Every structure is written in C-alpha cells, then in structure tokens.
C-alpha cells in the first residue's frame, strides 16, 4: 500500500501510466448509477407517499 | 460512586492561514493538473475521467470551504441577550450505565454557563438502578437549575425528548444531550453563541470520543468522526448553514422551532409504522426548513464510542437505517437551490456507483485487482489530505504525539470505512423499516471498566455549598 501510494503521489508530478482496462467497467457503473439515482430523487421528490414526514400529522 | 470527575477541555485551534491556503492551493492545483492530463491523454477513458474530475472538484470544493469555518463569537451586547435565554436540557436515558450518567450530570452542572432546567427522562430502563444517582443529584444540584427526574414506560428516544419539549413552553433553547455524553466545561456557553443570529435554528456540537484511546476500534471511529465533522459538516455549516446531521450526542435547537414541529416529530411514520430512529437528523431537517443549521467548532462534547465489534456494527446499522430514510426526506423537503440538497443528490449517486463498483470488483477480482489497489491508495491519500482538518480542535488530555498517532491511523480508518461501514449502509437501507433502540436492548454500548478509570477526584463542585 505504501509503495503504491508513493507511486501515485509521484504520478502527480510525472504522469505516464496507462489506465487499467477495468476502468471501462467502472465507467459503466458510474454511468448506470446516474439514472438510478435520478429515479431515487424523482420518487423521493414527487412520488413518495408511503410515510409521513414534515407535514403535521 | 464519587459524583466528581475530571473533565477534559477542548479548544478550537486557529489554523495558520497563509500556510493552509498555500498548502491547499498546491494540492488542488497538482490534482487538477493530473485530472486534466488523464482526460487529454487517454481519450478512450474520457467518460470516467471526466466523471472523476467532477467528483474531485466537488470533494475539493468541500475541503476548501471547510477551511473557512471559524467558531461563532459574540459581542458583549449579544452575550447579554444570550444570558437571558432560558435553556432547557433533555437527557433521555435507556439502560445507560449509572456511573456514566453520573459523570454526564456532573459535567452539565459544572458548565461555565448553567442551563435553567434539566430534564432526565428514564425511558423505562430495565437493566439499571439509578436511585443512587438520582437521589444524589436531586439533593445536590445547583440551586439555580430546575432538575426533574421522571420515569415513563419505554416509548423510544423521540418520545422521551418530546416529554421535555412539550412541558416547557418558555424555553428559548432546547439542548439534546445523550446519556453517555460528557460536555466540555464551556460547551453550553459556546453552543449558544450562534443563536445571536436570529436566522440560526439549530447548532451542532463537535463530538469527540471520551474513550477514544480505549482500543483500535474506538480510535478508528474517532478519526473517521473527526474527519467527517471537520470536512463535510464544516463545509455545510459555512455554506449558508446547511448542516444535515446534528450529532444526537449534543445539539441545540431554538425552542419556538421545536414547539412548531413537535407534532410532526413524534407523528412521523414510514409504511404506517412510527419512525423511532433518526431523531437528530429529523430535528436538523426541521431547522433547515426554517433557517440555518450550523456547527459550532468550539462547543465540544465527549461521547462514549462502542468498544466491541458487535456494538459498533449495531450502532452503525441503526444510523444507516436513519440515514436511508433521511436521504429520501432531504431530497423531498430541502430546496434544490441549497448546498444540502445538492450534497444529498451527489452522494446518492456516488453511493450507488460505489456499490456497483464494489460488486464489479468482487465479481472479477483478477481483472480488478490493480484498479482496486489504485483506488484504495488514492482514497487513502485524499483522506489524509482531508485529515489535515483534524487539528482544528485540541483536547487537554491529548499530547502532540497522540494527535500524530491519530493522523497516522487515517489509512486504516479509510479501509474500515470503505470495506466495512459503507457497504453496511445497504443493509441499513434494506432494513430501514425496523425501528427501535437497536443498540441498547442488550445494555449500554460500554461498561464501567472505562468509566471507573476516568472517574477521579477533582475539585469540589461549587454547588455542594448549597445543600437544600
């Protein structure tokens, strides 16, 4: 871990290492999480009717 | 039981600004250059590098803003007005260890600014006998403070708090204090200062661990809690008073706001069931909808951190159940123009991405190994940077070497957070319908071994001169 950390810190100054191919998978994860989180936001904002929150009971 | 304890003090340290800004500037510029390089150099991965640059910009903005936090101060005139305020403290008690509760009450009555009323509400404890503590303090509390000690059938923390909120229509400020939380001597005086600004509706105190040095677990928790409070929460406080989580251990609320929202507070339901968890976050949300919710870095309390793995995980599960619900509530009720709403939206996305990446790494470890190592190393480096904010507070019972030790523990704390606690949030989300005092059914989170060591003879408390 320490060696890796030093490599990365050095990398800030002397960049050059190619990214790992697994990054494509990671990119997909981020990409598909966006509509999923948007759905959560929309449901929370406009569709949530299963609980009573800030409204006076 | 001695009824007397030595309570550490804590002070908010002023950073050396020129040094801070130069350091922050160099780090941000270097990291930004690195992100720009990646975007330019590896077009095939442009999407992920752009996303990461945006995430980096958000984290960097948060870190920079957090450095702007300063303790609230008041003029002599404002202080005179604060002195006139009626301050009522609620301590809900459920199976707390008597010696810990005794210390909490001692520290409360040793404040540089005494409260006007203290309500200790025993929420139907089944495993402890508080008669010795109760009888002593009812006899020897400061005469200027009204002390009530009441016991009710178990109904949960929110109800225990509501019994105080409902019974003091004259209170200007309500203080919520956990039964295991010892206040630093000036915590109340400092915690009241932000209320000099009429737009402030709630104040979060800073939580440190009373038993921080007890074990590796408590140290890790202390490091993570400190970094979170002095980066995420500091930034939220500076950004228009947008603190999203007042620590349940010690927080202060404007009385009028509490009375306005009390019915909604105790009447909150989820799928038809009453919501018992997330009391502190709900009160913070009410405050946010009426004005500003801020943090006072000089108002410090010392909480008891769980000392066993079992208690740690149970406490975290309880918090994550509350967090799952509050995330929905924040998205629903906060203004999309606020820092708090955007913080919630962005962290919702990043959490879903984190979970899916974690699943992908677990599913294809051979391919992912190199990425996982790099990601963890970058996280450790970034958290170390954020941890520079840990030095914003100093406690009297810690030496420079203790602070350095905490700083060195940061990568371990990051690993614990990333590999154990963050994935557990999923479990909290799935089981958020389960409500209750999850942690304390089997007793309080710590036992007397800790409290006994800490209980030492100190100066004679001044109010013993005023026996009734």
Residues B434 and B321 sit within 8 Å (Cβ to Cβ): yes
Residue B457 vs residue B364, higher pLDDT: B364
Alpha carbons within 13 angstroms on the beta-carbon side of residue B58 total 16
Q: Which tokens in the block code for residue B427?
A: 């479990």
Facing residues of B273 across strands? B270
Q: Which tokens in the block code for residue A55?
A: 């409204």
Question: Does the pLDDT at position B453 exceed 50?
Answer: no
A–B interface: beta-carbon pairs under 8 A = 130
Measured CA to CA in angstroms, residue B290 lies from B120, B284, B286 at distances of 28, 10, 7
Q: Each residue of B294-347: pLDDT tens digit?
A: 999 999 999 999 999 999 999 899 889 888 889 988 998 899 999 999 999 999
Three-state SS string over chain B comes to CCCCCCCCCEEECCCCHHHHHHHHHHHHHHHHHHHHHHHHHCHHHHHHHHHHHHHHHHHHHHHHHHCCCCCCCCCHHHHHHHHHCCEEEEEEECCCCHHHHHHHHHHHHCCCCCCCEEEEEECCCCCCCCHHHHHHHHHHCCCCCEEEEEECCCCCHHHHHHHHHCCCCCCCEEEEECCCCEECCCHHHHHHHHHHCCCEEEEEEEEEECCHHHCHHHHHHHHHHHHHHHHHHHHHHHCCCECCCCCCCEEEEEHHHHHHHHHHHHHCEECCEECCCCHHHHHHHHHHCCCEEEEEEEEEEEECCCCCHHHHHHHHHHHHHHHHHHHHHHHHHCCCCCHHHHHHHHHHHHHHHHHHHHHHHHHCHHHHHHHHHHHHHHHHHHHHHHHHHHHHEEECCCCHHHHHHHHHCHHHHHHHHHHHHHHHHHHHHHCCCCCCCHHHCCCCCCCHHHHHHHCCCCCCCHHHHCCC
pLDDT value of position B15: 64
Q: Does B38 touch chain A (CB under 8 A)?
A: yes
Report the distance separating Cα A53 and Cα B332, nearest Å. Answer: 10
Mean pLDDT of B97-120: 97
Query: What three-state secondary structure class fits A56?
Result: coil
Question: Does the pLDDT at position B464 exceed 70?
Answer: no
pLDDT value of position B31: 75
Contact B267 A13 (CB under 8 A): no
Q: Each residue of A31-56: pLDDT tens digit?
A: 889 999 999 999 888 876 655 655 54
Chain A residues touching B261 at Cβ < 8 A = 54
Residue B432: which pLDDT band, with cuts at 50, 70 and 90? confident
Residue B382: which pLDDT band, with cuts at 50, 70 and 90? confident
Contact B353 A33 (CB under 8 A): yes
Mean pLDDT of B445-451: 38
Mean pLDDT of B415-438: 83
**Å from A42 to nearest chain B CA?**
9
Among B179-183, B224-228, B275-279, the range scoring the smallest mean pLDDT is: B275-279
Of A18, A41, A57, the CB nearest to B267: A57
Q: Which residue of A has its CA nearest to B332?
A: A45
Q: How far is CA B449 from the centre of its chain?
A: 24
pLDDT value of position B374: 82
The residue of B381, B385, B425 whose CB has the most chain A CBs within 10 angstroms, and thus the best one to mutate to test that interface, is B381
Helix axes B365-386, B46-66, angle to 10 degrees: 20
Q: Each residue of B35-60: pLDDT tens digit?
A: 777 777 777 777 777 887 888 888 88
Q: Does A35 touch chain B (CB under 8 A)?
A: no
pLDDT value of position A4: 62
pTM of the predicted protein model: 0.86
pLDDT value of position B463: 29
Among B106-110, B218-222, B385-389, the range scoring the smallest mean pLDDT is: B385-389
Q: Are strands B173-177 and B250-254 parallel, antiparallel or unpaired?
A: antiparallel
Report the distance separating Cα B250 and Cα A21, nearest Å. Answer: 48
pLDDT value of position B368: 87
Q: Each residue of B8-36: pLDDT tens digit?
A: 998 887 666 666 766 777 777 777 777 77
Mean pLDDT of B96-113: 96
Contact A50 B364 (CB under 8 A): no
Residue B452 vs residue B129, higher pLDDT: B129
Contact A32 B268 (CB under 8 A): no
Of B329, B353, B378, the CB nearest to A8: B378
Measured CA to CA in angstroms, residue B155 lies from B9, B28, B249, B383 at distances of 34, 50, 19, 40
Question: Does the pLDDT at position B148 exceed 80?
Answer: yes
pLDDT value of position B87: 98
Chain A residues touching B377 at Cβ < 8 A = 1, 4-5, 7-8
Strand order in the sheet with B173-177: B146-151, B117-122, B87-93, B173-177, B250-254, B200-209, B292-303, B182-183
Residues contacting B392, CB < 8 A, separation 6+ = B12, B13, B15, B69, B230, B234, B297
Residue B430: which pLDDT band, with cuts at 50, 70 and 90? confident
**Å from A24 to nearest chain B CA?**
7
Mean of all residue pLDDT scores within chain B: 87
Question: Does the pLDDT at position A2 exceed 70?
Answer: no
Mean pLDDT of B255-277: 87
Q: Which tokens in the block code for residue B203?
A: 């104040």
Report the distance separating Cα B53 and Cα B37, nearest Å. Answer: 11
Of A12, A27, A44, the CB nearest to B34: A12
Phi, psi of B359 (to 5 degrees): -65, -40
pLDDT value of position B462: 28
Q: Between residues 5 and 34 of chain A, which touch chain B (CB distance below 8 Å)?
A: 5, 7-9, 11-13, 15, 18-27, 29-34
Contact A1 B376 (CB under 8 A): yes
Q: How far is CA B193 from the centre of its chain?
A: 18
Residues B125 and B91 sit within 8 Å (Cβ to Cβ): no
Q: Which tokens in the block code for residue B363?
A: 């599913």
Chain A residues touching B285 at Cβ < 8 A = 54
Mean pLDDT of B346-357: 93
DSSP state letter for A55? S
Q: Between residues 36 and 55 of chain A, which touch chain B (CB distance below 8 Å)?
A: 36-37, 40-41, 44-45, 48, 50-55
Q: Does B270 touch chain A (CB under 8 A)?
A: yes
Among B127-131, B138-142, B252-256, the range scoring the smallest mean pLDDT is: B127-131
pLDDT value of position A39: 93
Of B48, B370, B373, the CB nearest to A27: B48
pLDDT value of position B431: 86
Three-state SS string over B305-350 comes to CCCCHHHHHHHHHHHHHHHHHHHHHHHHHCCCCCHHHHHHHHHHHH
Residue B46 vs residue B125, higher pLDDT: B125
pLDDT value of position B468: 27
Residue B17 vs residue B425, higher pLDDT: B425
Contact A57 B349 (CB under 8 A): no
pLDDT value of position B2: 79
Facing residues of B259 across strands? none
Highest mean pLDDT among A2-11, B108-117, B361-370, B444-453: B108-117
Mean pLDDT of B183-189: 97
* Percent residues over pLDDT 90 in chain B: 60
Question: Does the pLDDT at position B156 exceed 60?
Answer: yes
Phi, psi of B204 (to 5 degrees): -95, 130
Chain A residues touching B329 at Cβ < 8 A = 44, 53-54
CA B141, B80, B194, B225: dihedral to nearest 10 degrees?
-30
């Amino acid at each position: 871990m320490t060696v890796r950390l030093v490599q990365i810190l050095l990398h800030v100054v002397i960049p050059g290492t190619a990214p790992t191919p697994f990054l494509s998978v990671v990119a997909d994860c981020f990409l598909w999480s966006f509509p999923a989180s948007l759905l959560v936001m929309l449901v929370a904002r406009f569709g949530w009717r299963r609980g009573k929150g800030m409204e006076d009971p | 039981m001695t009824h007397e304890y030595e309570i550490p003090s804590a002070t908010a340290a002023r950073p050396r600004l020129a040094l801070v800004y130069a350091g922050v500037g160099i780090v941000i510029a270097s990291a930004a250059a690195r992100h720009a390089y990646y975007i330019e150099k590896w077009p095939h991965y442009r999407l992920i590098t752009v996303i990461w640059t945006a995430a980096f910009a958000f984290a960097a903005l948060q870190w920079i803003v957090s450095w702007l936090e300063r303790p609230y101060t008041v003029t002599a005139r404002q202080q005179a007005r604060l002195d006139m305020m009626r301050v009522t403290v609620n301590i809900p008690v459920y199976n707390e260890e008597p010696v810990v509760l005794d210390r909490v009450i001692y520290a409360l009555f040793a404040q540089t600014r005494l409260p006007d009323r203290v309500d200790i509400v025993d929420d139907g404890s089944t495993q402890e006998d508080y008669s010795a503590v109760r009888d002593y303090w009812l006899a020897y509390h400061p005469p200027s403070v009204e002390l009530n000690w009441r016991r009710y059938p178990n109904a949960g923390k929110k109800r225990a708090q509501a019994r105080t909120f409902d019974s003091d229509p004259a209170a200007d400020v309500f203080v919520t204090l956990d039964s295991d939380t010892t206040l630093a001597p000036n915590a109340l005086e400092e915690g009241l200062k932000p209320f000099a600004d009429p737009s402030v509706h709630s104040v979060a105190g800073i939580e440190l661990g009373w038993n921080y040095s007890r074990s590796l677990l408590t140290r890790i928790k202390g490091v993570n809690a400190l970094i979170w409070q002095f980066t995420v929460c500091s930034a939220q406080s500076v950004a228009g008073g947008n603190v999203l989580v007042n620590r349940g251990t010690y927080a202060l609320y404007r009385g009028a706001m509490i009375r306005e929202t009390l019915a909604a507070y105790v009447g909150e339901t989820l799928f038809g069931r009453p919501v018992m968890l997330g009391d502190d976050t709900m009160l913070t949300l009410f405050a946010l909808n009426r004005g500003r919710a801020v943090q006072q870095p000089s108002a410090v309390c010392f909480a008891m951190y769980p000392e066993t793995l079992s208690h740690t995980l149970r406490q975290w599960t309880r918090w994550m159940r509350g967090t799952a619900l509050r995330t929905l509530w924040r998205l629903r009720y906060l203004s999309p123009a606020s820092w708090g709403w955007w913080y919630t939206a962005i962290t919702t996305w990043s959490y879903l991405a984190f979970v899916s990446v974690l699943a992908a790494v677990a599913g294809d470890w051979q391919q992912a190994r190199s990425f996982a190592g790099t990601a963890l190393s970058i996280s450790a480096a970034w958290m170390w940077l954020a941890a520079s904010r840990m030095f914003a507070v100093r406690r009297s019972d810690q030496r420079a070497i203790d602070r350095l030790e905490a700083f060195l523990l940061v990568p371990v704390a990051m690993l614990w957070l990333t590999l154990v606690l963050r994935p557990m949030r999923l479990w909290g989300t799935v089981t958020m319908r389960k409500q209750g005092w999850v942690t304390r059914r089997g007793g309080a989170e710590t036992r007397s071994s800790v409290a006994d060591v800490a209980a030492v003879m100190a100066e004679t408390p001044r109010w013993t001169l005023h026996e009734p």
